[in-house]
Amino acid sequence: MERSRDVCVVVAVLMLCSMMVRTASPMSMPEAENSNEELRGSLLANGLGLTPQMGWNSWNHFNCKVDEKVIKETADALVSSGLAKLGYIYVNIDDCWAEMHRDAKGNLLPKNSTFPSGIKALADYVHSKGLKLGIYSDAGKFTCSKTMPGSLSHEEQDAKTFASWGIDYLKYDNCYNDGTKPTVRYPVMTRALTKAGRPIFFSLCEWGDLHPALWGFKVGNSWRTTNDISDNWNSMLSIIDLNEVYADLARPGGWNDPDMLEVGNGGMKNNEYIAHFSLWAISKAPLLLGCDVRNLTKETFNIISNQEVIAVNQDSLGIQAKKVRMEGNSEIWAGPLSGNKVALVLLNRAAVPHSITGNWDDIGIPENSVIEARDVWEHKTLETRFVGNLTANVEPHCCKMFVLKPIG
């Protein structure tokens, strides 16, 4: 989360980073699936994040207006709606949960007006539902809202506090820091978490300032690659474009994070939210809901509960898709899946319909392969068998998403 800095993308730097990370062909299939032994040559040997994290975060919808009632009701809703069974297991409190000052021993204090029962009791409640509780802090003097202390110079103490409360996830922001580089400040919390006595998913949120995809795997389980998302079409697309630059650096145990989902918050049309969810899924991004899951519309629920799209995101191969071709406002995104399958998104960024073709040589499929295509939004396997390419008509500000399977 970032509230105070302007969005500024230095194109030359991104081009350089793109050159640095794109050492393989766009759609090269791995010789073997990643083994667990490869996951953690790092400071953070917690065994978490073998697939992108799924759950909910309070910030996008509630901002600072969050309390223990909201958290409990959200946990209840994830279970009663069936979303928890689909993998949405993290219930993450974002900023504004603590008092402005620490106690006499320097410990963080839950805000009495909004979390009167304390965080430990809240964690017990969330755990009783079969879910996990996440919390928020900052690698600075204050958090981004400046309503509570950050963890700078209190890393070990706060990590032990979080572990004692039963916290399962830490989102760690970058506001009001001391001017030292994130590569100095963030590993301090990593070490603190490893000594805290409890596995805690570590989500780095330094906004992509120092290109954390280049160093984040040794420090955390995911890393923000961008500034904050806004609930509109242009923001969503700009965010996923920036995230795509680092596709080669995502893998089981560590994921590129283009920020939480906006699906259901009302700023985009339904077809735009379908494109949003599809792009996050194929990009192996965290699927962290940012809406009020206590009051879901049927349209929103149908998007976020699509098991076929979720399966692409959670595929064990763990390879992030890339934008393999673009012609004006028509784009082809593709990435390999386990079982020799390929996920494909045909994206229409334009305000008018487009016919979009994905060619096998762009996608990474042998040219003469016969392909069976499963439309994961229509939940049907197409009768046509495709050779060389697949073409689909795509509505404005929307996409088509397929899982491609070679059959000959």
Catalytic residues: 173, 228
The rounded distance, in Å, linking the Cα atoms of 250 and 240 is 14
Edge-first strand order for the sheet with 342-348 is: 322-327, 330-336, 342-348, 398-406, 370-375, 380-387
Q: Give burial (CB, 10 Å; 0-12/13-18/19+) of 270.
A: middle
The rounded distance, in Å, linking the Cα atoms of 356 and 391 is 6
Q: Are 79 and 131 in contact (CB under 8 A)?
A: yes
Tally Cβ neighbours within 10 Å of residue 86. Answer: 18
324 closest CA partner among 373, 364, 369 = 364
Tally Cβ neighbours within 10 Å of residue 317. Answer: 18
Q: Which helix (H) or strand (E) holds 363?
A: helix 360-363
Q: How far is CA 75 from the centre of its chain?
A: 19
The rounded distance, in Å, linking the Cα atoms of 75 and 69 is 10
The rounded distance, in Å, linking the Cα atoms of 375 and 273 is 17
- Backbone angle region of 168, left / alpha / beta, with phi > 0 → left and psi within -120 to 50 → alpha: alpha
| Amino acid at residue number 338 | S
Name the β-bridge partners of 325: 332
| Amino acid at residue number 359 | N
**Both tokens of residue 86?**
């689909």
User: Can you tell me which residue has the tokens 């992030």?
Assistant: 320
* Rg of the chain over all Cα atoms, to the nearest angstrom: 21
Helix then strand then coil, % of the chain, to nearest 5? 30, 25, 45
Helices (H), 117-204: 119-128, 155-165, 182-194
3 state SS of 298: helix
43 closest CA partner among 318, 286, 253, 257 = 253
